[in-house]
Chain A
Amino acid sequence: MNQDFSELRLDRVTRRFAGAGGQAFNALDELTITIKRGEFIALLGPSGCGKSTALNCIAGLLPLSGGTIRLDDLRIDTLPPESRGFGMVFQNYALFPHMSVERNIGFGLRMRGVSTAETATRVANALKLVQLTGQEHKLPGQLSGGQQQRVAIARAIVIEPPLVLMDEPLSNLDAKLRIETRAEIRRIHHELGRATIYVTHDQDEALSLADRIVVMKDGVVQQIDRPQQIYAQPANLHVARFMGYRNVIEMDVEATTGDRIALRDRDVRLTGTPMQALPGKLAMVAMRPEEIVVGDGPEGRNTLAVRVETVEYGGRDSLVGVVTATGARLFLRTAQSAAPGDALSIHVPAERALVYAPTPA
């Protein structure tokens, strides 16, 4: 397999499964993306969104129902996994329980007929890279979860694959280890300089690791963009909801002026930023709890009078649940103390009230 490559092209990659009642459904629907050498791509979405299906299709563990995958000019979607030569890290590690750490890591090299001496050197280097030197003779069962995961990563990268595929590699680790290993993965990616495709359902992981994020839902790509864009400018309501725009309220469109849109629900008025073409008079405005501020806005604009309903203490700040005059529930984060029953006035900057077309939730 060509070790050095310039890009991996997925063209309308589709995978159909037979669903309940014999009806076929698309677990992955026409995924098209070009991944450059050195890029770190995160496939992000809730469970069942097709992200793991996509990864398995790229690895060759699932045959495609449609579309093509090309590594530069070589068509690879017709090749079996053992001929693709991509390194894969599985969610449950999938270490060979009967082989020592050393033999696990060296397995791919042995399958390639690499000499014993070279295998030993490369395994030692890989062990150093994942900081497991000294553990080479242990069996996987004798290692902690974090160590097992690092063996799995070493095993996948020691073959120097053009592409490393990772399927929720951190989901079995505890919070502290997860953050440490996350940094490790990013460091290893940089040292190898090849491409990584990383599947996760955790926005923080995707935001911190990826150069580009592919947000998916029900097998369909919702948005492909840089983390900053995904975070600040979600393409649609699904992405917004998934990226933490917890407050979504339905309002009527009053007027559109340039890059602002005026919304109204009875006595409540808001000015927001349109993110999408609106098909009708109805719109959904999405706001992050962190971007709603207690107090009046400049010249009283975008200010709402609310009543505090719930307060969840969270250390540095609290998550406060409030109700507007029209009965809409909103959440906001504030360091100010508040108690249920308090009357508050809150505001949100117009550029942070994102307006979307209504979609079926």
Chain B
Amino acid sequence: MNTRTSPLARAPFDRTLLLAAPATLFMVALFIYPFLYGLWLSFEPAKGGWLANYHKFFTADNLWPTIWTTLRLALPATLINVGIALPIAFRMRVKSRYQRLITTVLVVPITLGTVLIADGMLTYFGPKGWLAHVLELLPFYEGPIRLTHNYWGVLISLVISGFPFAFLLILSYITGIDPVLARAASTLGASPTAQFRHIYLPLLAPGLAMCFCLAFVQAYSVFPSAVLLGAPAGPTRVISLAAYEAAFEQYDYSLASAIAMIMGFVQLIIVAIVLGLRGLFYRGPVVGGKG
């Protein structure tokens, strides 16, 4: 490839770029600077060498397992959210009388805060709630059913709060695919299942990967529901909880920063893997021709 540019190709400075200045300042002041400050802080431990915090994290038995504890919650929650949102959004892609109503109902949880959801779940899913009572009457499981203050409580809450997000995102991807492609496939002999498998799924794959990443990052930083609905001392001692404890119970901001950096790094690894897989799929316009 010829990389030399002709003098004509060098555009004069575009003054409209200045419009981006306030936003850039805002980002620097509220995001980039705090991030870099935290990164720097994580290498300035109270005692020991510059990597002492990281060393401590990966050796302390109450710290490093939080990575897996959080992954054990965030990955299933993300898979469930994307997995359920996909068929429902696919069904909702065509305009119908009920589409608006159903979409509204599905999206309502996004407007509720995690704390409100947790509060509602504590009564509804709690041991005295009628759901647990009804489930106990059914002959599937012996003994008391506990859906709060354990792993399941947090998982359910992550699904409730994360689903609308995944649903809306996937719905927008699906409605962006020209329905005439599926009609063309049908005239070529593709059954509805084959249309989904060969047309919709491959075209949606990059969008699904994106949706997975965003939903995962959101779930991995779970905090309030892990405390309110989980068992914060054990099975749902998530990584953000460890950071919180370090910062506000031990007043070790430096360690807390290190934990936050590790948390971000784990998220980055998962996102990188998923986006790497996305590269295997077609990425481009999802319409079949002109117009």
Contact = CB atoms under 8 A, between A and B. Distances in A.
B289 A108 contact: no
A91 B181 CA distance: 12
B274 interface: no
Tell me the dominant secondary structure on chain B's binding face: loop
Given A80-B186, A82-B189, A98-B281, A91 B288 contact: no
Given A90-B180, A97-B282, A81 B187 contact: yes
B177 to A, nearest CB: 9
Contacts of B191: 82
A172 B199 CA distance: 24
Contact of B185 (A96, A148, A156): A96
B284 interface: yes
A82 B289 contact: no
A85 B291 contact: no
Interface in B174-198: 178, 180-181, 183-191, 194, 198
A86 B290 contact: no
Contact of B289 (A61, A85, A148, A165): A148
Contacts, number: 101
Q: How large is the interface on A (under 10, 10 to 19, 20 to 34, 35 or more residues)?
A: 35 or more
B190 to A, nearest CB: 5
Given A92-B289, A96-B288, A141-B284, A85 B183 contact: no
Contacts of B194: 82, 111
Contacts of B186: 60-61, 80-82
Contact of A87 (B178, B187, B281): B187
A7 B181 CA distance: 29
B287 interface: yes
Interface string A86-129: 11101111111110000000011001100000000000000000
A111 B190 CA distance: 6
A278 B287 CA distance: 52
A156 B183 CA distance: 13
Nearest to B178: A94
Interface in B240-291: 281-282, 284-291
Interface in B197-222: 198-199, 202-203
Contacts of B203: 97-98
A165 to B, nearest CB: 8
Which of B180, B188, B203 gathers the greatest number of chain A CB atoms within 10 Å? Answer: B188
B284 A61 contact: no
Contacts of A108: 188-189
Contact of A140 (B180, B189, B190, B288): B288
B185 A107 contact: yes
Contacts of A139: 282, 284
B189 to A, nearest CB: 4
Given A139-B284, A140-B289, A94 B190 contact: no
B187 A96 contact: no
Nearest to B183: A61
A200 to B, nearest CB: 16
Contact of A107 (B198, B202, B291): B198
B199 to A, nearest CB: 6
Contacts of B287: 92, 97
Given A61-B183, A111-B194, A141-B284, A94 B188 contact: no
A59 B287 CA distance: 21
Contacts of A141: 284-285
A10 interface: no
B291 A94 contact: no
Interface in A194-231: none
B258 to A, nearest CB: 43
Nearest to A152: B289
Nearest to B177: A97
Interface string A121-159: 000000000000000000111000100100010011001
Contacts of A90: 180, 183-184, 288-289
Contact of A88 (B184, B281, B286, B291): B184
A324 to B, nearest CB: 44
Contact of A97 (B187, B190, B285, B291): B285
> Which 10 pairs from chain A and chain B are nearest by CB?
A93-B289, A98-B282, A108-B188, A111-B189, A94-B184, A94-B288, A88-B187, A81-B186, A92-B289, A92-B291
Given A96-B184, A111-B185, 12 more contacts: A59-B187, A82-B186, A85-B189, A86-B187, A92-B289, A93-B288, A97-B288, A107-B198, A108-B188, A111-B190, A148-B289, A172-B290
Interface of A: 59-61, 80-82, 84-88, 90-98, 107-108, 111-112, 139-141, 145, 148, 152, 155-156, 159, 165, 172
12 contacts: A82-B189, A88-B187, A92-B178, A94-B181, A94-B289, A96-B198, A97-B181, A97-B282, A97-B288, A108-B188, A108-B189, A111-B188
